[in-house]
Amino acid sequence: MAQRYGGKFSPDGSPNNAPDAPKMPSPQTYAGARPQSAGARTNILFVAPLVLVFSLFGSGAVALAMNLCAMALMLLSAWMTREGLKAEEAYNARTIAKPPALPRKMIASVLMGLGLALASYAASGIVSAVLIGVIGAGLHGFAFGLDPMKSKGAEGIDQFQQDRVARVVDEAEKHLTAMSSAVARVGDRQLEGRVERFQATARQMFRTVEEDPRDLAGARKFLGVYLMGAKDAAIKFADLYSKTRDQEAKAKFVALLDDLDANFAAKTEKLLTDNHSDMDVEIKVLRDRLKREGVRTE
C-alpha cells in the first residue's frame, strides 16, 4: 500500500521540522536495532522455483502434476525458512527464551529436498532424484542453519521463574504486535513511528525483567494491564480515525503514547536503580565478611 512521504518540507510535516521551531531531541527509535536476516536470501528462495514454469508444459500430464507439486513444496519451504529466521531473531533478542515450538528451518530443508527430488524425478530417474534431494536439503540446512533447540535463561535463576517471565513477556509482545497492526491500518507514517518508539521503550523493560526476574512483581502491571489497555486504545483509535480522520482523536492518542512512554521509561529506570542498590548491599556484606576474616580490602 502506497504511503505519502513526510519530511521537512511536506505539507503535513512535523512542527519540529519547521525553520522557526525549536529543535527537540528525538528518541532513538532504532537504537540497538539489527538488520533482519530474513531478507534477500529468502527472497531468492521464492524466485528459484519459478524456473520450473518452463517445464510445466510439453511433457505430459504426469510431469505437469509433478512439477506443480515440486513448485508448491519449494515455495512452502521458502515461506517456512523466512518464518524460521524470524523466530530465531526473536529468540536471540531475548535474554530468557524457549526454543520455537516448531523447527521451521529444519522442516524447510526437508521440503526443499522433497521439492528438488520431485522435480528431478519428473525429468530423470529415481537415483538422480534421491541424490539431488539429499544434496538440496543439506545445502539448505548449511546455508540457513538449524533452529534453536534448547531454552536459554539467566544463570542462577530457577526454571520456574524463567518460565514465568517468558510467559509474561510473550503475552506483552502480542499486545505490541496488535498495536502495530491496528495503527498500520490508519496509514499514517508518523503515527507508526511514534508507536515504534513506545515499543522500543517497552522492550527495554522486557529486557530488564528478563535479566532479573525478581523485577517481575513490580513490572507485572505494566507488562499486562497497561499494555492491554494500550492495545485496546490503539484498536479503537484505528477504527475511529480510519472513518473520520478526527485530528482531536489523533492528538489524544499521541498524548496517550507520550504518557505511556514516559511512565514505562521511569519504571524501567527505577527497576535498574533498585538492582544497583541490591548490588551495593551485596558488596557491603561481602566486604564486612572479608573484614571479619582479617582480609584487608582497598
Q: What is the pLDDT at residue 8?
A: 47
What is the 3 state secondary structure string of 2-52? CCCCCCCCCCCCCHHHCCCCCCCCCCCCCCCCCCCCCCHHHHHHHHHHHHH
pLDDT at 110: 92
Task: List the pLDDT tens digit at each of the 298 positions of the chain.
Answer: 445 544 444 444 444 444 443 343 344 444 545 555 556 677 888 888 887 777 666 667 777 788 888 889 999 999 999 888 888 887 777 766 677 778 899 999 999 999 889 888 877 778 888 999 999 999 998 888 888 887 766 555 556 677 788 888 888 888 998 999 988 888 888 888 899 999 999 888 888 887 777 777 778 888 888 889 989 989 999 888 888 888 888 899 999 999 999 988 888 888 877 644 445 445 554 555 555 565 555 5
Find the radius of gyration of the CA atoms of the chain. 26
* Cell triple for 263: 511512565
Query: Any idea how long the chain is?
Result: 298
Here the cell at position 54 is 518452463
pLDDT score, position 109: 92
Which pLDDT score, from 0 to 100, does residue 274 have? 61
The answer to whether the beta carbons of residues 22 and 47 sit under 8 Å apart is no
The pLDDT value recorded for residue 29 is 46
Q: Which run of H or E residues covers position 257?
A: helix 247-292
Cβ neighbourhood burial of 257 (10 Å; 0-12, 13-18, 19+): buried
Write out the three cell numbers for 98: 524457549
pLDDT at 111: 92
Supply the pLDDT for residue 100. 79
In 3-state terms the chain splits into helix, strand, coil percentages (rounded to 5) of 75, 0, 25
Residue 66: its pLDDT value, please?
84
